[in-house]
Amino acid sequence: MNYELIISLVKQASEFVFDSSLRESVDMKGSADFVTAVDLKISSFLKEKLAEITPEIGFMSEEEEGEIAKKRWILDPIDGTTNLVYDYNFSSVSLAYFNGSEIEFGVIYNPYNKDIFTAYLGNGAYLNGVRLENAPDRELSDCLIEFGAGSTKKQYADESFAIGKEVFCNCLDIRRVCSSALAIAYTAAGKINGYFERSIKPWDYAAATLMLKETGCFCSDWDGNPIQFENASSYVCGTKKAYDFLFTTVNCNRQ
């Protein structure tokens, strides 16, 4: 498969982020759940282009759920839509190829700063073309930890922030960039050291999960099961020491 072509399509699609007429067309899918014409345009553009070059592969997108094909592209056209709506300039396009049994390729692109993360099964993960080494396994007191709370999942707020408080009291500091794909990719790149969230969708984490695998990081759902790519899942990841602490902490504070 020509992954360089796929990467170029993702970059091309990401230019829709800067179309003000699309960005200002905003609807609500639910409480605190935005969808913009940017999301829809990127999704339709990539669906069409991917169907042209890989017609045998299905398509799964945040903006187009349907029958799940065994082999499929998994797309989040804009991960961090609220950031986009509020001009926070921290969003990403995330695309992964699931070959029927595992993620084979992933790309995550931040169009604002042009950071591009890529990963190839068995052949490493890269940031802006430079291969990523395994992230340093820092002591927890030296770790930056990211967590997702989900503005559409406020029923988990007490649980998530109780965990967040314990993590904050034991690590160096915590972060909330509100793009799960970028947060997990940053973990793979060693820019932060761990991440957890109560419930996220496959398109949020599919590409980034391969990046973790290719850089020696650990991830699972909160029950310790391998991450799957069909339905929403809890998620915890990190370098070994951070992952072990986060996994124990989320399970000691689950409600």
Q: Which domains, ranges and CATH numbers included, belong to the chain? A: 3-131 (3.30.540.10), 140-252 (3.40.190.80)
Q: What is the model's pLDDT at position 89?
A: 84
31, pLDDT greater than 50: no
23, pLDDT greater than 60: no
6, pLDDT greater than 80: yes
Q: What is the model's pLDDT at position 26?
A: 63
Q: What is the model's pLDDT at position 102?
A: 96
207, pLDDT greater than 50: yes
21, pLDDT greater than 80: no
Percent of the chain clearing pLDDT 70 (strictly above):
91
- Mean confidence (pLDDT) of the chain: 90
Q: 3-22 b/e with 16+ CB inside 10 Å = b?
A: eeebbebbeebbebbeeeeb
Write out pLDDT tens, residues 65-113.
656 778 999 999 999 888 878 888 889 999 999 999 999 999 999 999 9
Write out pLDDT tens, residues 139-183.
999 999 998 876 666 777 788 888 999 999 999 999 888 799 999
For residue 223, name the pLDDT band (cuts at 50, 70, 90).
very high
Q: What is the model's pLDDT at position 252?
A: 85
Write out pLDDT tens, residues 110-130.
999 999 999 999 999 999 999
- Nearest residue to 146 via CA among 99, 96, 212: 212
250, pLDDT greater than 80: yes
pTM of the entire predicted model: 0.92
Q: What is the model's pLDDT at position 83?
A: 82
Write out pLDDT tens, residues 34-43.
567 888 889 9
